[in-house]
Structure formats: C-alpha cells, structure tokens
Structure 1
Amino acid sequence: MNHSTPAPSLRKITVPSLRQFKRQGDKISMLTCYDAAFADSLDRAGVDIILVGDSLGMVVQGRADTLAVSVSDMVYHAAAVRRGTTRPLLLVDMPFQSYANEQRALDAAHRLVAEGGAEMVKLEGAGPVLDAITYLAQREIPVCGHLGLTPQSVNRLGGFKVQGKEQSAAERLVEDAKRVQQAGAELLVLECVPAGLAKRITSELDIPTIGIGAGSECDGQVLVLHDLLGVTPGNRPRFVKDFLAEGGSVQGAVRAFVEAVRDGAFPAAEHSY
C-alpha cells in the first residue's frame, strides 16, 4: 500500500475506521491536544485521532507527573477540543484511579462521553484493569488500552523507563496485549517498548497499535503536541522529533508529522529502542 497520499480523506474517523486502517496497511496519526484552537489546527492538518491526554497535568498544569489530574479536568479539556474539531476520532484519557472498579470506571467514562464528547476512552494497564475494559465495552463505550510505560504507574515503575527489555517482561507484555484485546479494547497504545517487541505485538493483534517510542512497525504513531513543537521544558525524550524546525509553523509542523507517519519516515531508528 502506498502511504504517501498527500491529502487526507475528509470522511469522519470512527471506531470501525481503525481496523480498516490496519487491514489496508494505512498508518494512523495521533496527537495530543487540550484546547479548541489547536484542535482546529490538528483537524485541518489531517490528524486521524486527537488524544486529550492526562499529559495535560505536566504540559498544561506544570506538574511533575499525571497523577493529580481529575475527571473534571479531563471533561473540561475534552469539551474544548470537541468544539474545535470534526473529522478526527476524539480519544480521552481516564485519569489515575478513575477506573479503580467497574462502577467508578462507568461513572467517569460516562462523564467523558456525555459532557466531554469523547468517542473512545483510554485506560492504562492490564490485570485488574481488564474488568473495567470489559465493563465499559459491554456498555457501548469504546476503549483504548495502554501498555509498556504507563505514566500513571510511574511510582511503581521507579520513573519513566523503557519496558519489556527482558525476555520474561516481553512475554508478559505480549500476553497482556492479547488480554486487553480479548477484554474488548478497540485500540492499543504501546509506549517505550523495544521496536522488535512492538512489531511482534502488532502482528499478533487484530486491533491497531499506536506507538510512542515503540518503533516504526506499529499501526500508527502518537506524540505529545508540545514535544512535537519543541516547547516542552527539560530534556527531549529519544522518541521525540521537533517537527516545528522543518514545518516552519504550528500547522506546518503538524502536517509534517502526519505525512511522516503516513510515509513511514517517522519514527526512524534513532527514535526507537
């Protein structure tokens, strides 16, 4: 399949669209966003999925991690993004401990959908989280899983570190990915895992994978918008490329990212583990 088509389809991206992308071999582009103005720019640049990430705790609120972000924070920012976009699928993170049990997960997800306009919600981890995924999926709330480096587990993991480097950890990630799919997830984010492991998981799943620091063989790629624009304080993670330098403007940077993902030019080897 030729991935260099310059003009994105104007057709609305829906949950069923995602498996169609995977079947056709078309790469999926995803970026984070937290307000209406940037949402409009991402929409016009052809981004397929907009993620209202709990990363807003760090890049918007200035915190050291994502753990203090509330459901109300997510609803507020999701609703703002919803008002600024039409074509992309709107994916919204469920914040830390908002899915600690099934009823809590349903209450939080209902707010994100009904008040925030989310079309899919994202949960981190497997294990007990699988019950929440199933509970939401059975109640017509589409779910995206998230494995590898899960930022809400930063204290347990001891920091933001690459996951799945040892054989036993890699096998556990493969099994967790299959369980997330079996639980009812329609999409899976793989963060900071070795490229070969991400390739294996992608090949063994029917649902699409979205990589961030997970190599070029995932079905799509995601970056935090502020990282893509080179405005995040501190050291730039290995998996990030400053697209503003080559795009010349916010719109140009986002468009360059979308085209690089579709062409398979991003991520390159230097952006992978």
Structure 2
Amino acid sequence: MAHAHAHAHADRAPRLAQTLTLPALPRAVYFRAYRIPAGTLVEPHAHDWCQFAFARRGIMHVRVSHSGLVVPPQYGMWLPAGTPHSVWAPEDVDLESLYIAAPAITAAITQCRVVVVTDLVRALIHHLCTTIGEDYDEHGKDGLKVRVLLDLLSELRDAPLTLPLPEDTNLRHLCEQLQADPGNASGVGDWASTLNMSERTLARRFLKQTGMTFHHWKQRLRLLRSLDMLKDGASVTAVAIDLGYSSTSAFIFAFRSLFGCAPGQFYSDAR
C-alpha cells in the first residue's frame, strides 16, 4: 500500500474493514473516533462524503491515485468525496474523523491535502468526537460548535507531506525503485540512461507530471522517509547516513528547510 517502498510486509498485513458504510450521514457533519491497529492495511475504498481525518496518535501513510501522503501525529488530512484511498498504519493510529456532506465544504475540497492542525482545532475536534451525539441539534449549541470548527478547518495551512507520483509507467517504476531505496545516489542522468531517454526529456516529463523537479521530488521522498525513521527512534546521524546525505548537517539543513524545525523537534513540537 501507501508507500510500498518501506513496507514490503504490508502485503501480509491484516486487512481492516474499518470503513464507513452508512447509506447517508445522520447530520451534515458526522464525527467518528477509532483506532487503526499497528501493521494494518486499509484496502482501497471511497466515501460519498468529504473527509477530514486527524491523527491524534500514530503516523499513517495514505495512497491515492497519483500521490502518496504521510500524516504524522497531530496533523490532519482532507480527502475529497469519492476519492479512492488506501491506508497503511505502521503503528497504532488513533483517528478522529469528520465526514462532511455540507455542499459548501464538499465543493471547496477538490484535492487531497495534509494540513497543520492548530491547538484550538485539535481541542475542538477531540471535544466533538467524544461528546457529541450523531443526532445532535444542528441549530443548537452543538451545531454552532460544528460550524465554528468547519470555519477553522478551512483556514488550516498546508503541510509539505504529499509526494506526487507520475502517470507515465516508466517514471512510476523509477519512483517505486527510489521509494524502495531512497538513499540511492543515482542522478537524473543515470536514470535517463536506464530508461533510454535523454536527461532533458526525463526532467521535462517528470516536472510536467508531478509538478516537481526530479531533484526536489527525491529530496521530498527522503525527508518524508526520515519521519518514519525518526519516529522509530533512529538517531539523526543514522537517518542522514541511511538516506544518502553527505553529512548530518546537510540533512538537518534540508529537514529544517522543508519542515521549519530541526529533526529532533518535529515530534516534540507535535506533542
């Protein structure tokens, strides 16, 4: 699943039918809290509604048609209505999800995004997931809280935790090889030779299909992989070496440039 790269064992993972199958939502916004156990693969599925999933605890990998997303603890993810997606949970993931049928939200959410969740939104999601009944009064106090939450959700800023994937079969295969070995030192010229195309052609196609240069895509892949390794307790130096950085300081600089904090601060900042 999600990132077939690090999780060859995902093929043998327990499947989870932990998907919402209501014929209709009881209210325009439906709240649901549940756990995805460690080592679980949630098979590809889609919802008739827009979904906002908040990972209160645990890191998860989500795969949609042309991108992979990493959702660390304390981050959230928007999924448009009708988007097939699968989920890989390398550790226990405690999810608090909103399923949203409100037309204004459904129309606004057109692509999958990982967002930075503020303290206020985090607290409000938890409060509503744990206290609100599914038949809450949409015109009373609970309904007001829900409307405030929707307004706050719409203001959350994007996090750089999405890795777009190319449509071209050869380029997709290249990406899969890099996902299996993110520390691979081969440059764009080496890959172009392997694929029997010019370096310029590969670079142009890659940029057109992913919106990123090959170099930036590879950098993003390595940094997203580092989140798993750091979560598993690997040292910053070990991560830098495994991912092919020339030095620990080079890794720290790249990490800080993308995430805005040092590697050792990422999970402590997420509390």
TM-score norm. by structure 1 comes to 0.29
TM-score norm. by structure 2 comes to 0.29
Q: Which has the larger radius of gyration?
A: 2
| Higher share of residues assigned strand | 2
